[in-house]
Amino acid sequence: KLRALLFDVDGTLADTERDGHRVAFNRAFAEAGLDWNWSVELYGELLAVTGGKERIRHFLERYHPGFEAPPDLVGFVAGLHAAKTRHYVRMLAEGGIPLRSGVERLLKEAKAAGLRLAIATTTTPDNVTALLASTLGEEGTALFECIGAGDVVPAKKPAPDIYVYVLEKMGLDPAECVAFEDSENGLRSAVDAQLTTIVTTNDYTRSHDFGGAALVVDRFGEPGEPFDLIDGEAGD
Ligand code: XBP
Ligand code: MG
């Protein structure tokens, strides 16, 4: 029996990456006096590594191998990332990013139908509450029984840990849930947690490999703006 819907955040609930996270990283770099600038295209590559701190470290190793990092590299990256979170949360509070088509309706209809809702994301908890508050108002966060986010598990997506964490917290079996994701890393994470997974694609993820998804659509959609079916496995 279906009891709960589990949602990814970035790319699934809202298109937060290109005009949100990316811009916030760049603001944090500029503020720290660094001349790094992540273009829309470069950021698409960097998204292969989930987690902002992990992404910064990957960028350094790959694009600035000669960078004279301060002795406390972990602290340096954590400081940059904290500034990035501050910029990102401010952008959301200013109403910067709307929910994707069909998201609010899906959440509210699911809730009204008695389904339990949860979030499983690699992003920082403050970012999740900022997005929900800025788009759904103060009751936005309360829609979700459990918000699994960020460093609460050490291994981020594509590892299944964050989904396993949420399932344990809610006392649910994966067979009682459906997960919603937008990316290959997210899909791997959910599928490896034994979850039936619906994928909603976006500009950064359209070309990903979605093998193993129960259904792939280009959006959840509204009656006036229906989704396009990209792939579906009969019998799932
Ligand atoms: C989202 C991420 C996050 C965000 C940035 O992946 O990878 O790292 O890009 O957030 P998913 P933080 O949608 O698969 O959860 O900087 O807070 O990590
Ligand atoms: Mg995502």
pLDDT tens per residue across span 95-131: 889 999 999 999 999 999 999 999 999 999 999 999 9
Tell me what pLDDT residue 226 has.
87
- Tens-digit pLDDT profile for residues 135-185: 999 889 999 999 999 999 999 999 999 999 999 999 999 999 999 999 999
Domains and CATH numbers, the chain: 4-14+99-232 (3.40.50.1000), 17-93 (1.10.150.240)
Cβ of 184 closer than 6 Å to ligand 1, yes or no, is no
Give, using CA atoms, the residue closest to atom 4 of ligand 1.
123
Helix axes 22-31, 52-63, angle to 10 degrees: 70
Does residue 50 have its Cβ closer than 6 Å to ligand 1? yes
Predicted pLDDT of residue 97 = 97
pLDDT in tens, 20-58: 999 999 999 999 999 999 999 999 999 999 999 999 999
Q: How far is the CA of 188 from the centre of ligand 1 (A)?
A: 15
Q: What is each CA distance from 133 to 138, 140, 213, in whole angstroms?
A: 5, 6, 30
The ligand 1 atom at the shortest distance from the C-alpha of residue 124 is 17
Query: ipTM score here?
Result: 0.93
Please give the mean pLDDT across all residues of the chain: 95
pTM of the model: 0.95
